[in-house]
Chain A
Amino acid sequence: MAEHYFQKEIETAPYEKIREIQSEKLVHQVRRVYDNVPYYRKKMEEKGVTPDDIKSVDDLHKLPFLSKADLRDAYPYGLLGAPLKDCVRIHSTSGTTGKRVVAFYTQHDIDLWDDCAARAICAAGGTPDDVCQIAYGFGLFTGGAGLNGGSHKVGCLTVPISSGNTERQIMFIRDLNATILCCTPSYAEYLAESMKEMGLSPDDIPLKAGIFGAEAWSEEMRADIEKTLGIKAYDIYGLTELSGPGVSFECCEQNGMHVNEDHFIAEIIDPDTEEVLPDGTWGELVFTAVDKEAFPMIRYRTRDVCMLSREKCSCGRTFVKMAKPKGRTDDMLIIRGVNVFPSQIETVLINEGYAANYLLVVDRVNNTDTLDVQVEMTPEMFTDNIGEVEARQKKLENGLKNMLGIKAHVSLVAPKTIERSEGKAKRVIDNRKI
Chain B
Amino acid sequence: MDKGSELRRDGDWAVLRIWGEVDLSWSQDVRRQVLEAYAKVKSLAVQLDGVSYIDSSGIAALVEGFQHARSKGGRFALLAPSEAVRAVLELARLDRVFPIFTDLAAARAA
Q: Do A and B bind each other?
A: no
A interface vs B, CB < 8 Å? none
